[in-house]
Amino acid sequence: MKRINYLASFLFAALLLSSCGGLEKMKEEASNLQYSVTPKVLEMHAGKVKYEIKGDIPAEWFNKKAIVEFTPVYKYEGGEEVLESKTLQGESVEANNKVIAFETGGSIEFAGEFDYNEAMRVGELEIRGLATIKDKQLDLVAYKLADGVISTPLLVMVDPMPVAYGDNFQRVISETKEADIHYVIQQSKVRKSELKAEDITALEEFVKMTNEEANKEFKGIEISAYASPDGPEKLNDRLSEQRKKSADKYLAKVIGKAKVSKDDAETLYSLKSTAEDWDGFKGLVEGSTIEDKDLILRVLSMYSDPVVREKEIKNIAATYKTLADDILPQLRRSEIMIKVDKIGFSDEEIADFAVNNPDTLNIEELLYAAKLAETLEAKAAIYKTATEKFETCFRAFNNLGFVNILMGNLADAKVALVKANELKEGEAIITNNLGVIALMEGDKETAQANFLNSTDAGNSVDYNLGIVKIMDGEYEAAVNYFQNHKSFNTALAMLLAGKNDSANKTIDVVEKESPKNYYLKAVINARIGDEGAVMNNLRTAVEKDAELKQMAKTDLEFRNYFENETFKTIVE
């Protein structure tokens, strides 16, 4: 009996050593497994890091009785991201995992993504294995697959463009006043009764006020005299000329009373006479309810000779009396039109009034005054005044929000823009600006919705959508949105879309000289393979902003230069 117990113990120990030996062998030979990673250097796009791992398991490695759980892990300072694992089994294992034959080996594949945070920029992707045979487990040697993550899309400048409303300020506003003097048939004398007509008295007051107000000046005086088309043409020619003179004589007295110099008056005058006003006749007939209107108009279209016209129209006996009573008297007239320019305040006056006496200015002048102000703070103060003085002006509230965005006062900007939207809901410019605030506050979804609803606000909206598309990893779309903008973000989008040469040309014409511009130039040239340009631009970037040294030192865009002595000198 004791002999049997010894034998059982021996067999158990042998089995235990056998299983342990199998695990140890797998661990020792784990380095024979071959892995490839796509992309070779991990990249962040739209806040995600995608990866594909393919592993080649050699023949005679996978123990027939083993189960191995392979787990990719991304390690970085402060944490690690454990990724989706895959479990494989040997031929003798009864389970539902993928089987790897001992004699032939096999393969394993992973594909997935993980959320990126800035600490992951420096780190390692490795694969770990946990091998099990029955109730024994052993960790295989962790195998490093890749170093760090390229996060170049995070260079995007979140500088969306707000839009301001323009003003309708006109320094010179033209005004006109018109009046008619009507005459008795075959007469050219200006009757006293005509001078009491409402339009004539208004004309005289207009002339008087123009002369009295310093900011108004006469720009033109036109007199057009007419005779009706009935009667001999020579008579009508004489009548229209005489009527022109009588109207001129009357107006000379009005101008004289207003103390306008004769020389000035003569330069302003434009006088003309029309012997037979057939155009006026046609217009009055067309607008009348005369019974034979169509017949009269047909005569006018058929005959161009005034004598024939008059004869044919008079043949329409019943109608001609109506013409003589209602239409022809309106054509015996002199038309007077006076043009005046009202000259607004000078820029100096507007700038002064906006600060010291804003009640002097109307809304258009206040909006214009803000454009004249030299600082953002001064502009904001004027727009604030405009919102207080004109409480229903959505443009003033929008522009107050616009300036506060430029100043970085997002809370104040939002208050002003919400009010503007209450006053004029759905206006494209206001909607865009609300999107600008949302984007700057990190609410990309709301920002994009607002931008898409404000495309009528102009090219600024395209720029803003381009920023969103970079964030979303849609680089071709971003390039398309940026097509009318030469900017840092335009060059970045081109680079991310694989258009290295276009990116290089674009960044060279960006006007703003900033450290990030030179840093991006260095990245672009690293991808192109121009070592000299990499070093020159990187050197300029860190000279302008020393904090970029640390970024460059670990930026895998420059991985080919980490051991370059010039590079080391620049980033140390």
Q: Is the dihedral of CA 227, 232, 237, 239 positive or negative?
A: negative
The structural domains of the chain, with segments of one domain joined by +, span 15-150, 172-343
466: left (phi over 0), alpha (psi -120 to 50) or beta: alpha
Q: Tell me whether the CATH fold assigned to 15-150 matches the one assigned to 172-343.
A: no
Sheet containing strand 172-182, strands side by side: 172-182, 333-343, 216-226, 269-274
What's the full length of the chain, in residues? 572
Encode the chain (572 residues) as per-residue pLDDT tens digits.
444 444 444 334 334 434 445 899 999 999 999 999 999 999 999 999 999 999 999 999 999 999 999 999 999 999 999 999 999 999 999 999 999 999 999 999 999 999 999 999 999 999 999 999 999 999 998 999 999 999 999 999 999 999 999 999 999 989 999 999 999 998 999 999 999 999 999 999 999 888 888 888 888 889 998 988 887 888 888 989 999 999 988 988 887 766 666 676 677 778 888 888 888 888 888 888 887 778 778 877 887 777 787 787 777 756 777 787 888 888 888 999 999 998 999 999 999 999 999 999 999 999 999 999 999 999 999 999 999 999 999 999 999 999 999 999 999 999 999 999 999 999 999 999 999 999 999 999 999 999 999 999 999 999 999 999 999 999 999 999 999 999 999 999 999 999 999 999 999 999 778 999 999 999 999 999 999 999 999 999 999 999 999 999 999 999 999 999 999 999 99
Query: What's the rounded Cα separation, in Å, for the pair 408 and 411?
Result: 9
Q: Which residues contact 330 (CB under 8 A, 6 or more apart)?
A: 182, 280, 284
Question: What are the DSSP calls for 137-166, one per residue?
Answer: EEEPPPEEEEE-EE-GGGG----PPP----
Which has the closest alpha carbon to 114: 187, 183, 45? Answer: 45
CATH architecture group of domain 15-150: Sandwich (2.60)
Residues 283/327, Cβ–Cβ less than 8 Å: no
Q: Alpha-carbon distance 17 to 7, whole Å?
A: 15
DSSP state, 91? T
- Pairing label, strands 333-343, 216-226: antiparallel
CATH 1.10.240.10 fits 172-343, yes or no: no
Q: Which stretches of 164-232 are DSSP H helices?
A: 192-195, 198-212
Q: What is the DSSP string of 4-39?
A: HHHHHHHHHHHHHHHHHHHHHHHHHTGGG-EEEEES
Locate tokens 């809370």: which residue? 411
* Backbone φ and ψ of 30, nearest 5°: -60, -25
3-state secondary structure 396-410: HHHHHHHHHHHHCCH
Instruction: Tell which residue, 288, 292, 286, 284, has the closest CA to residue 319.
Output: 292
